[in-house]
Structures are given as C-alpha cells and as structure tokens.
Structure 1
Amino acid sequence: MAFGKRSTISDNLYDYSIMICGESGVGKTTVISELCEKEFGEDGYLLLNTGDEEGVSAIEGVTYEDVPTYKKFVEISNDIIKNKDTDYPNLKVVIIDTLDQLIDCTEKQAIDDWNRENMSNKNFKPAKTLNSVQGGFGAGYDVVFNMIYDKVRALGKAGVKVWYTCHSKTKDIIDPVSSAAYTTLTSNMAQRYFNDFKTKVHVVGVACVDRSIEAEGTGRTNIISHKEITVNKVKDEKRKIVFRDDSYSVDSKSRFAGIVNEIPLDADELIKALKDAIKNSKKNDSVGSKKTTSKKTAPIKEEKPVESDPIEDDIDDIDTPVETTVETTVEETTETPTYPDDLDAVIRKMYKECKDAELKASVKNVIAEYGKLNDVDDDGLKRIYDMMN
C-alpha cells in the first residue's frame, strides 16, 4: 500500500483558526465580530461572551451567548456538535471571547473535579490551587488545556472552527541568541497556555496602539542644569494589528508566509490581509510545483553555482526555484555535508559572533519563516548553518 497525500489551500477563512490578542478596550472583539458578520452572516458565527467579559455590551448587532462558567461552555459546545445540521446549518465559526477568561473558568472546574473525585480517598487534602491537581508539577495545566481543546477538536470535526481573542501584556525577555534583554507584547495568560494554543492556530495577530511621543518644552528652566524642562506628550496614535515583527517585540505568528507585517485595526483590512495571505501561499505552492517539474531536467542546467558566492546561493535558493534545482544537482555529485549534533547551540554562537550585518539580516529572514529560532526545524537549522559557513 502506498501512502501520500497532496495538500490544498482553502480560500475560505472559516477553514482556519485565528487569534487576536490585545489590551482591554483596544477593539479586538469589535474587529473579529465585524469580520465574521461580513464574511459569514449573523447565523454564520457565535461569539461566546466568557467569564466576566462585557465586550459585547458596547457593540451593536453581535450574535453571542453568555458563558459564565466552563459547564456552560460544554453545554453550548455539545449542543452545536449534536445539532449542527438541524439547528446550526450555517454556523462556521465560534469565537471564544476571551480565551484567558475561559481558562480561568476551566481552572476552577478542574480543581472542583479533582477534589470531588478524590474526596473519599484516605488522607486526601483538597486542592486549593491548580498546582495541586493531578499531583502537581504542571500536570494541572495539561488537564485544563485538554478540557478546552477536546471541545475545540470536537467542534472542528462537526464543521465549526474556533477563533479566539485574549488580553495582552508586556513581558521582559532575554534574547536566546544575543542574550540582550528586551520587552515583548504577548498574551497575559500563562505562557504555557499561550504556547499550547498558539501552536494550534494559523494566525496570531496582536492588536496594539502605536503612539508617536515627542518632547515638548515647558518654558521653564532647570535651576541645576540650566536647561529647559521638557515633558513627553503623545502627538499621534493609531491602532493596528501586528502579524509579523522582525524585532520580535510583538509575540505574533502566521503560518502564511506571505502575510503582511501589520495592518490598521479594521475588519475590512483584516479580511484583505488574510485573503491576500492565502493567495500568496497558493503562489508559493505553484512555485513548489515548478520546482518539482524542473528537477527532472536538472542535468542539462548550466553549472553556474560552482563559481558563485555560497551565501548568495543560499539567498537565491529561498527566492528562486531555478537556483534550487541547480544546487540539488550539485549536491548529488558531492559529499553530503555533515552537521554538528548540537546544531541549535552552534548557530546561536555563530550568530552572536557574526559581524556581517547583511548576513545576520538574511538569517533573520529565514527564522521569520518559522516564527522564532526555537521553532526552526532541522532542515531550517541546516540551511542557516550553511548560510553562516
């Protein structure tokens, strides 16, 4: 029996999972509900107003349901799964608004379930926090994630995708490559939860306010420095959604390589960005098909790469399929390169010691295809290693 499938990229937004993070009141609930209203219609989505959230109270015309507890989330999910064809024929997307609120509700339920299941055990001490559930050591986090994602998975099988909103916060990070400290804008839920859900979605956009701040003179003089006293004032601000950030100061993500870095915080702009990203991914796929076709005729290609610069070759491999074909031919006639066992650590050291700004920028572009250096797979690491050698 032969195995192997060919993937196809859907044009439908409801075939993908999306998460929008942002501070309270920035407009994340508005933009995601407006997108769904325009794309799927009032029967095509259902926003779950979760926990203590009151985001829908100030938005006109949102299809929603209040979800004060985890049990209510389960009740609604089960009803959709059971009666999808009869009661929810047009439903395409369920929005959890917000995910961090649902996690709080689920943690309370997980603690209650654990205590109830073990109350009859001798010397059992009821858990007061999630750290005591399932024996501790982080096991409670897995319980909570599975309690939520089991329903998300079941909804997906019923033909309904789950989208998310979540609150954001700033967090101090130590860069794993340069060891420099910087501040990033990320979700305010526990990083373990965020990472778990982040791996399950196609796009994570971070809604934020971009402010222009200028120093303005007060007309008063400092009696010690004899310089004019100034104050910082906001001159301009705009709300935006960030999908990619080369400086990694925003914890966003996209599985679509062709998505724009950022857009204004607007439903129409969000729709356009997502659809353009899908189209661009399809273009990349057609390039891949050309690459496969041209590989059969590789022996008749010119042997230009032998004299060209290896760093430039690696850049060409990313951008143009023709050069990839030629390089494949060359590799077939040479020894297979060997790589260090601790390739990740070696690359970090090489990057830190590298003085070539242009080369470092090229490496960052490769890393950006995956999101972060920690997410780069073996093939990507080998590609970076080759570039830096």
Structure 2
Amino acid sequence: MALWSTNEVKVDVASYMHYVRGLKKVGKSTLFKELIKKIGNGNMNKGLLISLGDEDGYKALNGLVVAKAPTWSEFIEIVDELVENPKENEFTFIALDTVDELFQIATEEVFRLHKKKYNEVCESLNSALKGYGAGRAKVKELVREQVARLKGSYGLFCIGHTKLRDVNEKGMAEAYQQLTTSLPFDFDSVIADKADIIATISIDKDVIDVEEVNGKKVGSLGGITRWIHFRDDNFNVDCGARFADIVDKVELSADNYLGAIEDAIKSASGKSETEILEKKEIEVKEREVIAEQKAEESKGVDSIENAKLAEIVKTKFPKADAETKAKVKEILTTNDIKLGSPEDAITSELQKAVDLLAD
C-alpha cells in the first residue's frame, strides 16, 4: 500500500474548521445564524449552536437551533448524541459558543475530578491534580478530545472573544498592540492550531466634526464599520487562513464571509464552478461516511475491554457515594449491562460508568 498520496483542496466551506473571534456583542453568533440561513437556503436545521457555560448570545436570534450546555456533563451529553446518532439530525455546521466558556466548564470539570480523586476542594487550576501543570494539561485534553469527536462529521464554527494585548517581540525596541484572543494562549492554541480559518472581527469608528476644546480634540461618532480580518501583515489583528489568496478583510456579513472563503477555495483548487459543485456533493457524502464510522465506533463492543471495565465497576462501586451509585445504576440499567457477563455491552457506555467512579 502506498504511504503517500496527492492532496486535493476541499471545496465545501463545511470541510474546514472556522474560528471566529471578536468583542462581546459584535455579531459573532449572528454571523453563524446568517451563515446557516445562507448555506441551508433558509433551512435553519442545517446548523446547531451549542451555548456553553454562561453564554447566552442566542437569545435574540429567532429561528436558530440551540442546545444549552451550562456544565461539562451536559456538553458531553450533546456531543454523544451528535456523534452516536448523526442520522437523527440535518446539521452541516456545529457552533461552539463560546470557546472561552468551553474552557471554563472544562476547568470546572477538572476541579470535580480533583475533588473526587483526592477528596479535597481544589483552590486553583495550577494546583489541580497535584500541580506541575497537570490541571491545565487535563483541561486541554478534555477540550481537544471533544473537538476531535465532532471534527470530520460536521463543519465546526468556533466562537471566541478578543481583547487588546501588548506584544513584546525579541529584537523590537517597543511593544505594539494586537487584537487577539482573550484566552490564555495555551488554551487558545487548542482551537487555533486545528482551525483552518481564524477570522477576527474589528470595529472602525468614524469620528466627524472634530474640533479643539480646551486643548483637546473632540468630535461626534458618525458611524461604525465592522470588519472580518483573514490576514494582517502588520500583525495589529491576530488572524490567519490556510489559503494563500484569501482577501485581507471584508465588511462583516455572512455573504462577505462566505464569498471571501469561496473565492480563496476556488483559487487554491483551480477548479471551475461546475467542478466545485460536483466536488461539494462528494465531500458531503464523505462527511456522512465519516459520521457513520464514528457512530459505529462509539457504539462498538470490545468484549476484552468490557471484562476489564466491569471489574473496575465492581471494585469501585461499593465505595462510591449515593449520587454516583444512582448514576452508575442508571447507565447499567438503560443499556442492559450485566457486570457478571458484560461481553455484549456497548463499551463506551460501560466506560461512562467507570468514568463516574474515577478516583
């Protein structure tokens, strides 16, 4: 079997992972809604926005399909449903709104795991799981795993917040300001390193009727323009894309966002409009195949692994608290798992019971 192949540029926007960042209430969630409306030709069932943690940017977006995940366990429940039952939905894109909140609920999950294992309240992420970076590493692992589960079966549209930071580069006498992620950089890289398009929204304010008053220049706000940046050679805006010929920036709208990406894809692929349409259909079917494969894997039965997991459950169950025991019993009952003969059990479900009993 050949160990290499010739790469062919994908042409469907949902074949790429998108990471859109901007200030609060600048229009990130609205961009996703309008994107779904456009690619679905009005069918809003083509997209799902997962509202994470305390985020509620969907409230004024009529018609948007939303799933709320204020906690990590609720997020996992949603991802499980999406991965295990892909034929039960029409979703082309899944939005994570926001990744800032995703890392927050993952951090809270690490605190829960710490308390369960060491029977003590964790004071900070730095001290979680006995420190030495273990807590931060676990947060990144949790997020990375769930992104990987969704990626490939669905197009991913990750939403994040921005802030201005002072950047000090080696060899430069002075720092400069950059509009970039509000997340710690190691957390942000979990998303950014996998994203094919990192688009950052900025706001230009048009000040008019400027005059000098008491030695200061004052004016009126004549209007604002919201921009989506894909490239910035001056590094004032942190953004980027895998496409060499993508436009630097466009005014914020779903039409402009899609247009910029589709133009870049056309240039990179070298295909005609007819060829692109044909290739899109192929990529949609490829995602469906991947989704079906992941669903089968998630529902897979591994009799050898089941035997090991069943022993862990039998050993740890008596020591668990009442709430945990109730949750474990629910999993076993719902999936008809018999610890004495677990050979035919769905391995992922038995694993959930083990995870609940984690030290």
Which residue of structure 2 aligns with residue 154 of structure 1? 149
For 2:123, the equivalent position in structure 1 comes to 128
Describe the SS at the equivalent of 1:193: helix
Work out whether 1:167 is the aligned partner of 2:164.
no
| CA drift at 1:177 | 4.3
Alpha-carbon offset, residue 214 of structure 1: 5.6
Residue in structure 1 matching 2:67, options 53, 65, 68 = 65
Q: How does 1:175-324 map to 2 (within 5 A)?
A: 175-213=169-207, 216-217=210-211, 222=214, 229-283=216-270
Shift of 1:232: 4.5
Q: TM-score, normalised by structure 1?
A: 0.65
Matches within 5 A, 1:67-146: 67-85=69-87, 87-88=88-89, 90-119=90-119, 126-146=121-141
Q: CA RMSD in A?
A: 1.9
The structural deviation recorded for 1:260 is 0.5
* One-letter amino acid of the counterpart of residue 146, structure 2: K
Equivalences for 1:32-71 in 2 at 5 Å?
32-40=32-40, 41-71=43-73
Stretch deviating more after TM superposition (40-49 or 208-217): 208-217
Change (3 A) 1:165 1:273: same
Once the two structures are aligned, what percentage of the paired residues are identical?
A: 26
CA distance in 2, matches of 1:281, 1:133: 45
Q: Secondary structure at the match of 2:4?
A: coil
Q: How many residues align?
A: 269
* Cα deviation code 1:137-192 (max 9, x no counterpart): 333222112112212211225x1232210111111101334343101111111111
Label 1:177 to 1:56 Cα distance change in 2 as closer, same or farther (>3 A): same
Q: Give the AA of the match of 2:72.
A: Y
Letter in 1 for 2:135: G
CA deviations on 1:189-235 (whole Å, 9 max, x unpaired) are 111111221110000111121123467225x5x5xxxxx65324434
What stretches of structure 1 of length at least 5 have no aligned partner? 120-124, 223-227, 285-389
Going from structure 1 to structure 2, the CA distance change for 1:155 and 1:217 (only over 3 Å counts) comes to closer
**TM-score with structure 2 setting the length:** 0.71
Q: Is the 8 A contact 1:215 1:230 kept in 2?
A: no
- C-alpha distance in 2 between matches for 1:242 and 1:177: 26
Displacement of 1:280: 1.6
Is the Cα contact below 8 Å between 2:246 and 2:263 reproduced in 1?
yes
Residue type matched to 1:69 in 2?
T
Query: Residues 21 and 200 of structure 2 are in contact (CA less than 8 Å); yes or no, is this contact kept in structure 1?
Result: yes
Asked whether the 8 Å contact 2:126–2:132 carries over to 1, the reply is: yes
CA contact (8 A) 1:216 1:232 kept: yes
SS at match of 2:163: strand
After the TM superposition, list the runs of 4 or more consecutive aligned residues in structure 1 that deviate by more than 6 angstroms.
none
Residues 33 and 61, structure 2, Cα contact 8 Å, conserved in 1: no
Q: Following TM superposition, by how much is the alpha carbon of 1:97 offset from its aligned partner in structure 2, in angstroms? A: 0.6
Look up the equivalent residue of 2:206 and give its one-letter code: S
- Compute the displacement of 1:106 (Å): 1.1
Q: Which letter maps to 2:258?
A: I
How far, CA to CA, are the matches of 1:2 and 1:97 in structure 2?
A: 41
Q: In the TM superposition, what whole-angstrom CA distance separates every residue of 1:310-332 from its partner, at most 9, and x where no partner exists?
A: xxxxxxxxxxxxxxxxxxxxxxx
The 8 Å contact of residues 97 and 164 in structure 1, kept in 2 or not, is answered as yes
Q: Letter of the 1:23 partner, please give it.
A: L
3-state DSSP class of the match of 1:114?
A: helix
Residue ranges of structure 2 left out of the alignment (5+ in a row): 272-359
* Greater radius of gyration (CA): 1
Could you tell me how far 1:269 is from its partner in structure 2? Answer: 0.5
Query: Residue 65 of structure 1: SS of its match in structure 2?
Result: strand
